[in-house]
Chain A
Amino acid sequence: MKKNFSNRYIFIYITVLVIVIALVLSLAATLLQQRQDDNRKIEKMQSILRSAGIESSVENAMLLYQKYVTEELYDEHPVYVTQIDNGRIYIFPLRGKGLWGPVWGFIALKEDMNTVVGITLDHKGETPGLGAQITTAEFQNQFRGKKIFDDRGNFVSITLVKGGAGNFSGNRKHAVDAISGGTLTSNGVTEMLFSNLLMYEPFMKERLDRLAAPDTVTKQDTAEEVTPAYRQYRSDTVDKPQTPSAFITDTPKKSVRQQSVPEQEQQQQTSPVSAADTFQKMPEQPVPQQQSNDSQQSDPEKQDVYLDTAAEVSETGDTGQTTSKKENSRKRRSNKKQVQADEE
């Protein structure tokens, strides 16, 4: 048994072994890919439905999702809309950093774009029993009925407060209990809620304006109110990109690339489009220039213009920016499918 093997034998042996193992693993990954992607998709649908208060099982999630949820796009970022008996519910995706890895989730707001219907949160690897408590129903139920805007319409988000919501300096309706022993995860969730909802603030204002009769005075008000929170946020985060337009488009993309694609996916991705895209429809192909210039207008000075055009869209009916964006994204999606098919 204790033979002396030559160097050549060792090299050949290891090479063959590596090739065999690589073949086996890539075969397994390819065979299981579809199932794993389905699992992820279904899980995402379930958490979207759950945030809007619809319970679903693995089996019926797909059906319920198709029945209730329609998707819209705001500046390349998805917004999910459900129509249930007592009005529309808008669901916004969230993604941020916990203590050990990414945290993500969905927050559902009522038509007033202020009251929280529900939230679902998930994480990659927070400490079990501590930070991982963000996935429990007890924790998530706290968010129901909380508000993200104060009485004057300023954006305040929702804060997870250490020692209980009672310790919050502001109004209790903007605060929930943080997780004891999970302070860093809690801070991560607070930060995630703030930055993600802030990103969608223009969309919310636009929808509110569309809902109410277009009125010049309120439009002025909202346009002014968008900016202070924005400036505040920009001055708080020095390392973030400096211009607001860059902030809106760049940061989420980066965060998607860096955090939300689990390592497994990166390893076994056989095509550049798959799991990452199921979550967020990121264009791999460059967006038409005109389009992106248009959608990045959230400069404080240009805010008025932006809201004005939004109001016009609402007056002229539903065939405006949003529809064209939708169409574009659909085109892009079908392009991707084409690419995928070609590769196969």
Chain B
Amino acid sequence: MEQKTNYLKLITSPLGKENPITVQVLGICSALAVTVQLEPALVMALSVIVVTGFSGLIISAMRNSIPLRVRIVVQLMVVSALVILVDQLLQAFAYQMSKKLSVFVGLIITNCIVMGRFEAFAMMNRPWAAFIDGVGNGFGYGLILIVLGFFRELFGSGTLLGIQVVPQSWYESGYENNGLFILPPMALILAGIIIWIQRSRNRSLIET
């Protein structure tokens, strides 16, 4: 049942044709919330990579002992523990950032990507493969987050990572920041555009 796994593919496929956000359409909520600026998007991506990776590892190691009837409860407990750990570490070592991300780190618990990967992969694969799969999916999620954060901060605030990018002379000649980019709907529209581009280039992704 557990054949040889292609680790490279586990990392690369979530970036493209199995991307959790654009193809599986999971984890949209936090993608809207933390991508107003690039920096929180980066830290959020990193946190999700850590959580998905290690929770996959743990769940997969436990998979033969987990009673199926209560597996969701067990999965939730493991994820919650990891998320709280990440939150505590952020508060201790990256205090400013943990304040910026506020509730959204805690909300990784409810991120569908994590549970989705348990059900689809970690419950029936070896720990190491599950770890790689989790990290890969974290990357896939983080990639979209960073793209969204980049465009939203650039057009919404004229900055990148908090540094002014749009020159002052533009503002003087009538350029204005687009307020729509700061609001959550723009993240959905941007994600929609990414999905559109991706599917027009790879027609096998189009559902009929």
Contacts and interface: CB of A to CB of B under 8 A. Distances in A.
A21 B157 CA distance: 42
A28 B85 contact: yes
B92 interface: yes
Interface in A213-243: none
Contact of A129 (B64, B80, B182): B182
Interface residues of A, number: 29
A25 B92 contact: no
A32 B64 contact: no
B29 to A, nearest CB: 15
A17 B74 contact: yes
B91 A32 contact: yes
Contacts, number: 70
B77 to A, nearest CB: 6
Interface string A20-51: 01001100110010011001100100000000
Interface residues of B, number: 35
A29 B86 CA distance: 11
Contacts of A130: 182
Interface stretch (A8-16, A70-78, A191-199, A324-332): A8-16
A264 interface: yes
Contacts of B103: 125
A158 to B, nearest CB: 25
Given A2-B68, A5-B67, A24-B81, A125 B92 contact: no
7 contacts: A1-B63, A5-B69, A14-B70, A24-B85, A40-B95, A129-B36, A268-B88
Interface of B: 36-37, 40, 63-70, 73-74, 77-78, 80-81, 84-85, 87-89, 91-93, 95, 99-100, 102-103, 124, 156-157, 179, 182
Given A10-B69, A122-B99, 17 more contacts: A1-B64, A5-B67, A5-B68, A14-B70, A17-B74, A25-B85, A32-B89, A32-B91, A36-B88, A36-B95, A40-B95, A43-B95, A124-B102, A128-B100, A129-B36, A129-B157, A264-B91
